[in-house]
Chain A
Amino acid sequence: MKSSSFKNPLLPYVLLMPTFLILVVFLFYPAFETFRLSLFKVHPYSGAERFAGFYNFRKIFTNPEYLSSFWRSLIFAIIVVIIGLMFSLFVAVLLNQKARGMKLYRSFLIWPYALSPAIAGALFNFLFNPANGLIGYFTGVRTWLTDSSTAMLIIIIAAVWKNLGYNIVFYLTALRNVPTSALEAAAIDGAGPVRRFFSITFTYLSPITFFLMVMNTTYAYFASFGLIDVLTEGGPAGSTQILIYQLYKDFFVHSKIGYAAAESLILFLLVVGITMLQFQTTEKKVHYQ
């Protein structure tokens, strides 16, 4: 027991009470209830429930539309993570150099942090729109958003672009925590800047990289909803529909409650999987240091 703690039997519970009231009513209970409903057939209007076992899950996994959303989300997330992190790390390394005007550069490079996915959607909708989009004018191709083979590409570009500010902020802070002593020692040993970066800096960056991988994956899976709703609404022909959009349609548009609950449970399992992956990798890192 820490000597520096207050002795008061009741106060800590009073302090925690508001938080736990909110957690129980708006997080734990709804989560539990959603998972329960995944095993039921629910009437869209009366709300009458009938136990259905794994019926919803069987339906989900035999639905080709769902399955293609599933794989599309996965590929989308992987590409957004890889391109987003590589570009942000590159920019953060540039920003970490000593030169004039760095603070100004920093401001202009991280401010998209404050932009929303919906705004990114509107901006890229303008750039790529078939009637008078600038990209259409410069490339001679006007069908970027209306062709089901290229629409996803635009979603990826917009999603990566929107999250650059966030990623650069984290990489920049992490780069500043890399001890200069290690870098100088390596320099004395004759390691060039490129080797120094990959053998030392990159090692120190691995925990933040794993953290950002998780954050960007959840961003791709969930927060990109606004982007897609403004940019393509899942189209054309379902070619940009990812799991969160599918869930929105099944629950909110088609009122398939039990079915949507089962989709939520699958999303939950994905989140758990990603998080466990992060815990494992960060634990390794602790041993490493």
Chain B
Amino acid sequence: MIQTRFQTIRLHTLLILAVLIICLPVILAIIISTQSEAQVLSYPPRLFPGSSTIDNYNKAWRTVNLGRLMFNSAAIAVSVTIGKVILSLLSAFAFTHFEFKGKQFFFFLILVTLLLPVPVRIVALFDVVRGFGWIDSYAGLIIPFWASATGTFLFIQRFKTVPVELIDASRMDGCRPMQYFFRILLPLTKSTIGALCVIEFIYIWNQYLWPLMATNSDNMRVVQIGIKMLMNSESSNNWGVIMAGVVISMLPPLLLFFVLQESFMKGFALQSEK
């Protein structure tokens, strides 16, 4: 179907409009993050960069100890992601490559976890984590999140597409299950692992409610809570500093997203198939 010139122009106009709607709030945040308090308050509003960039980023970084919060968020997101990838790889391997008693039941239990997001169990989860002495510690923000239904399903789907001949041939060669897993299955699963890493890292980095409840010292806070802390500690008009904090805190997940975009899209294509 050949497009006319008019259709092409209309398409680009609509797309640019959509890009503007989606990007404008962030572009504005970046502009504001360079402005001094007086420039932010200027009337009419100043829509081009200001002269306070270094001051703002410096102040945002120091006011809420952003370096420490970034480190916490990164350490937690990386640890949860690695744990989830390993645990869901292992359980997906069990479900796809073995016959065993209770397989259906175990699978059902994993399915049920989709019905139990944090808020519906938060009252007692808080007690359990406190019982372990994990309030205000990394363990309390990491270990409860290691099991993943999403990851298990994603890997089951991927493993199912591996040709049966491969496993038969390797068994004939006397390949033991874990050898097959590490030597043959894992290398074939790279882009799915990449996709899960993006999904989980972003998900954990962006978590808010649980870290808010499970930590109480300023040293153990995460970056998302830091945004709120920054808004509370800055005078309500000093948006330059607040937006500087916002820009800093969204960089790591964005960077990861752009770097792994292709494998992320591939993983998504898999996930959305029935």
A→B interface (CB under 8 Å): 1-6, 8-9, 11-13, 15-16, 18-20, 22-23, 25-34, 37, 91, 94-95, 97-99, 101, 105, 107-109, 111-127, 129, 131-132, 134, 137, 161, 164-165, 169-170, 173-174, 176-177, 187, 207-208, 211, 218, 222, 225-226, 229-230, 244, 247-248, 251-252, 257, 260-261, 264-265, 267-268, 271-272, 275, 282, 286
Assess whether B123 is in contact with A229, with CB atoms less than 8 Å apart: no
User: CA of A37 to CA of B17 in the docked complex: distance in angstroms?
Assistant: 51
Assess whether A174 is in contact with B272, with CB atoms less than 8 Å apart: yes
Assess whether A119 is in contact with B106, with CB atoms less than 8 Å apart: no
Assess whether B120 is in contact with A226, with CB atoms less than 8 Å apart: no
7 A–B contacts from the bound complex (CB under 8 Å): A16-B90, A18-B90, A33-B124, A117-B206, A251-B123, A264-B122, A271-B117
Q: Which 7 A-B pairs have the closest CB atoms?
A: A226-B208, A116-B206, A33-B124, A26-B144, A15-B94, A12-B98, A30-B124
User: CA of A124 to CA of B22 in the docked complex: distance in angstroms?
Assistant: 12
Size category, B interface = 35 or more
B→A interface (CB under 8 Å): 1, 3, 8, 11-12, 14-15, 18-19, 21-23, 25-26, 28-29, 32, 40-41, 43-45, 86-88, 90-91, 93-94, 97-100, 103, 106, 109-110, 113-128, 143-147, 152, 164, 167-168, 171, 177-178, 180, 202, 205-206, 208-209, 212-213, 224-225, 227-228, 231, 236-237, 239, 242-243, 246, 249-250, 253-254, 256-258, 261, 265, 268-269, 272-274
Which residues of chain A are within 8 angstroms of B125 by Cβ–Cβ distance?
A: 26, 30, 34
Assess whether B208 is in contact with A116, with CB atoms less than 8 Å apart: yes
Given contacts A29-B124, A118-B228, A132-B239, 13 further A-B contacts (CB under 8 A): A15-B94, A23-B110, A26-B128, A30-B122, A30-B124, A30-B125, A33-B128, A99-B11, A114-B254, A132-B41, A161-B21, A247-B122, A251-B122
Given known A114-B253, A225-B208, contact A20–B106 (CB-CB < 8 A): yes
Residue ID in chain A nearest B273 by CB atoms: A177
Assess whether B246 is in contact with A107, with CB atoms less than 8 Å apart: no
From B91, B177, B269, give the contact of A8 (CB < 8 A): B177
Assess whether B23 is in contact with A108, with CB atoms less than 8 Å apart: yes
Q: A257: shortest Cβ distance to chain B, in Å?
A: 6
Assess whether A211 is in contact with B272, with CB atoms less than 8 Å apart: yes
Assess whether A164 is in contact with B250, with CB atoms less than 8 Å apart: no
From A30, A131, A173, give the contact of B236 (CB < 8 A): A131
Residue ID in chain A nearest B177 by CB atoms: A6
Which residues of chain B are within 8 angstroms of A29 by Cβ–Cβ distance?
A: 124, 128
From B14, B100, B124, B246, give the contact of A34 (CB < 8 A): B124
Assess whether A22 is in contact with B177, with CB atoms less than 8 Å apart: no
User: CA of A4 to CA of B118 in the docked complex: distance in angstroms?
Assistant: 38
Q: A251: shortest Cβ distance to chain B, in Å?
A: 6
Assess whether A15 is in contact with B122, with CB atoms less than 8 Å apart: no
Assess whether B272 is in contact with A33, with CB atoms less than 8 Å apart: no
User: CA of A186 to CA of B165 in the docked complex: distance in angstroms?
Assistant: 39
Q: A9: shortest Cβ distance to chain B, in Å?
A: 7
Assess whether A37 is in contact with B249, with CB atoms less than 8 Å apart: no
User: CA of A19 to CA of B144 in the docked complex: distance in angstroms?
Assistant: 11
From A114, A164, A230, A282, give the contact of B202 (CB < 8 A): A114
Assess whether B90 is in contact with A15, with CB atoms less than 8 Å apart: yes
Which residues of chain A are within 8 angstroms of B124 by Cβ–Cβ distance?
A: 29-34, 37, 261
User: CA of A35 to CA of B22 in the docked complex: distance in angstroms?
Assistant: 41
User: CA of A254 to CA of B230 in the docked complex: distance in angstroms?
Assistant: 25
Which residues of chain B are within 8 angstroms of A3 by Cβ–Cβ distance?
A: 164, 168
Assess whether A13 is in contact with B100, with CB atoms less than 8 Å apart: yes
User: CA of A3 to CA of B172 in the docked complex: distance in angstroms?
Assistant: 13
From A2, A15, A169, give the contact of B91 (CB < 8 A): A15
Which residues of chain B are within 8 angstroms of A101 by Cβ–Cβ distance?
A: 12
Q: A14: shortest Cβ distance to chain B, in Å?
A: 8
From A15, A111, A137, A272, give the contact of B257 (CB < 8 A): A111
User: CA of A127 to CA of B86 in the docked complex: distance in angstroms?
Assistant: 42
Given known A18-B90, A95-B15, A131-B236, contact A244–B119 (CB-CB < 8 A): yes
User: CA of A129 to CA of B51 in the docked complex: distance in angstroms?
Assistant: 22
Assess whether A94 is in contact with B115, with CB atoms less than 8 Å apart: no
Residue ID in chain B nearest A276 by CB atoms: B115
Assess whether B90 is in contact with A222, with CB atoms less than 8 Å apart: no
Which residues of chain B are within 8 angstroms of A32 by Cβ–Cβ distance?
A: 124
Which residues of chain A are within 8 angstroms of B168 by Cβ–Cβ distance?
A: 3-4
User: CA of A257 to CA of B25 in the docked complex: distance in angstroms?
Assistant: 39
Assess whether A105 is in contact with B100, with CB atoms less than 8 Å apart: no
Q: A66: shortest Cβ distance to chain B, in Å?
A: 15
Interface centre among B3, B41, B119, B239 (most CB of A within 10 A): B119
Assess whether A173 is in contact with B269, with CB atoms less than 8 Å apart: yes
